[in-house]
Amino acid sequence: MSGQTRKHKLMSIFTPTKTLFSKMAWAAYNTYRKGLHYRQRLADMDARLNEGRESIAQFQWERLRKLLRHAYQTTPYYQTLLDSLHIQPDDIRQPRDLLQIPTLEKSTIRAQLDELLSRAFPKHRLMKNATGGSSGTPLIFYQNRAYWNQRNLSVYYFDRWAGWDFGERQLIVWGSLPDVDRAMGLKQRMNNFWRNYRWLNGFDLTAEKMIDAFEQMQRWRPQTILAYASSLHLFAECLSENQLTPDWKLKGIISSAEMLYPHYRKLAENVFKTKVYNRYGGREVGLIAMECKAGRLHINCHDLYIEIDSDAPYTQPGEILITQLNNYAMPFIRYRIGDVGVLSDEVCPCGNSLPILGDLMGRTTATFRTRSGKLIHGGYFTQQFYEIKTVVQFQLIQESYDLCRLKLVVNDKFTNETHEWIVRQIKEALGENVEVRVEFVDQIPPPTSGKIAFTISKIE
């Protein structure tokens, strides 16, 4: 028996054994570590979300009213707000009454973070989170354990539409700095092992690394891929240029965190010979909508109540407003997430009765390129700059290989040291010889499409 064949035989025995091990590890983790009757809860979600639209709407509405009462009773922000408007939570009896409550803006969250926290939770028990990615105003907020348990359950629930299941092999192409840093640690490496995940850093995608990852995939045969939309596109482009095609069957690809452009989808589906499922979510609120096999984006009505800020939400696109129904630690009610969309009243041919998001627009991102051919995800910069308290807003524009413009809105505590540090970070990523032109401005006006792009690359 040749070495290659022996290795192959070993793999073919090892792989199903590993999957079985991972399934058992998942069960143990969810049951004993998280204390979740997860199979039962997933079955309950399934039953509830298949009861028909009227029943789903009633379920959402009851939870929304409960959240509203909680927000009023335990957060200074909502108490003051509703009192100033002479509204009691019980006055909100039907969806149109909700229009009386002002939308929640990112600027408000930034200015009144503490007032938005529920006094029912000690702050040290809360989990801090922040928006990443390359779009949306960077923002810090808090969530609690029960919220995260449900958030993860919803991801499990919807990811199964794309072929994922507990313990099955998944390649993750993800580029959020803290997430990837954690992935490097021993603890996370062990987590990846028992969960049956492998990672490819979306912030560091060179042709060499992508080809190497592909060769490993040919042996490991992941059943699904979870990827940043732009990273998935780069990966597919690289494989296509090198005429590499998978010789195993992928069940599906989940594209997330960014806008899935039609040309991204087309190339990835051609190269990987499987369907790409668009998953729309936000760090602030969790999974918002998931694409089904019939290609429609179904709204996660179990966890969210969605409105479109438009006179005709079924025909005229508007900004998406989200009420997160589970985050009792820091209620998000009518939160303006910064994406534009429209609802659809279509009944989906897939048979699922969850309402549909007709179209999703206005998320932007950019990939930076260096002369040496290195690709840097725009989110790489946002991730580093969002924690700087003296920077109110920023926009990094790569004009050419040699010139970057950085627009900064800063407060009066901004120092020269911070200025130099930012320039150094950009040069470290893009190259010492790149000129970084810093422009201090009063504001960065959003484009008419809605959302400010924090990173823009003009290099094609």
Q: Find, among 136, 85, 209, the residue nearest to 446 by Cα.
A: 136
Least distance to Zn ion, CB of residue 256, Å: 18
User: What is the 3-class SS of 269-335, one letter each residue?
Assistant: HHHHCCCEEEEEEECCCEEEEEECCCCCEEECCCCEEEEEECCCCCCCCEEEEEEECCCCCCCCCCE
Alpha helices, DSSP H, located in 75-206: 76-84, 106-111, 113-116, 145-159, 177-184, 186-195
Closest CB to Zn ion among residues 350, 361? 350
Min. distance of Cβ 288 from Zn ion in angstroms? 15
Closest to Zn ion by CB, 195 or 298: 298
Rounded (5°) CA angle 255-258-262: 70
Four-point Cα dihedral 349, 353, 355, 359, nearest 10:
-20
Which amino acid appears at position 318 of this protein?
G
**Residue 165's beta-bridge partner residues?**
none
Q: Would you tell me the crossing angle of helices 38-49 and 145-159 to the nearest 10 degrees?
A: 70
* 294 touching Zn ion, by CB under 5 A: yes
3-state helix, strand and coil shares in percent for the chain, rounded to the nearest 5: 40, 25, 35
* Residue 184 sits in the site that holds Zn ion (CB under 5 A): no
Nearest approach, Cβ of residue 297 and Zn ion (Å): 9
Smallest gap, in angstroms, from Cβ of residue 44 to Zn ion?
A: 20
- Applying CB under 5 A, the site for Zn ion has a residue count of 6
Pairing outcome for strands 435-440 and 403-410: parallel
Q: Which pair of tokens denotes residue 150?
A: 């449900």
**Cα–Cα distance, 58 to 304 (Å, whole number):** 13
State the minimum distance, in angstroms, from the CB of residue 295 to Zn ion. Answer: 8
Question: Of these, 296, 302, 363, 377, which contacts Zn ion (CB under 5 A)?
Answer: 296
Q: Judged by CB under 5 A, which stretch of 81-89, 228-236, 245-253, 285-293 contacts Zn ion?
A: 285-293
Residue 349: burial class (beta carbons within 10 Å; 0-12, 13-18, 19+): exposed
Query: In the complex with Zn ion, which residue's Cβ is closer, 81 or 292?
Result: 292
Least distance to Zn ion, CB of residue 349, Å: 7
Query: Is residue 205 within the footprint of Zn ion (CB under 5 A)?
Result: no
The CB-of-352 to Zn ion minimum distance in angstroms stands at 5
Cβ proximity to Zn ion, 213 vs 288, nearer residue? 288
Q: Provide the minimum distance between the beta carbon of 70 and Zn ion in the complex, in angstroms, as a whole number.
A: 32
Decide if residue 253 touches Zn ion (CB under 5 A).
no
289 touching Zn ion, by CB under 5 A: no
Q: Is 292 in the site for Zn ion (CB under 5 A)?
A: yes
Alpha-carbon distance of 175 to 162, in angstroms, equals: 21
Angstrom CA distances, 62 to 179, 180, 326, 356, 447, stand at 35, 38, 12, 21, 37
Identify which of residues 350 and 392 has a Cβ nearer to Zn ion in the complex: 350
The reply on whether position 299 binds Zn ion by CB under 5 A is no
Contact pattern from residue 98 through residue 137 relative to Zn ion, giving x for each residue in contact according to CB under 5 A and a dash for the rest: ----------------------------------------
Number of H helices, E strands in the chain: 14, 19
Stretch that binds Zn ion, among 124-132, 294-302, 416-424, 436-444 (CB under 5 A): 294-302
Query: Contact, 228 vs 260, CB < 8 A?
Result: no
Stretch that binds Zn ion, among 46-54, 195-203, 273-281, 292-300 (CB under 5 A): 292-300
User: Mask of contacts with Zn ion, 329-348, x by CB under 5 A?
Assistant: -------------------x
Tell whether residue 257 is a contact of Zn ion (CB under 5 A): no
Q: Residue 162 interacts with Zn ion (CB under 5 A)?
A: no
Q: Which of 57, 350, 361, 392 binds Zn ion (CB under 5 A)?
A: 350
Q: Which residues bind Zn ion (CB under 5 A)?
A: 292, 294, 296, 348, 350, 352
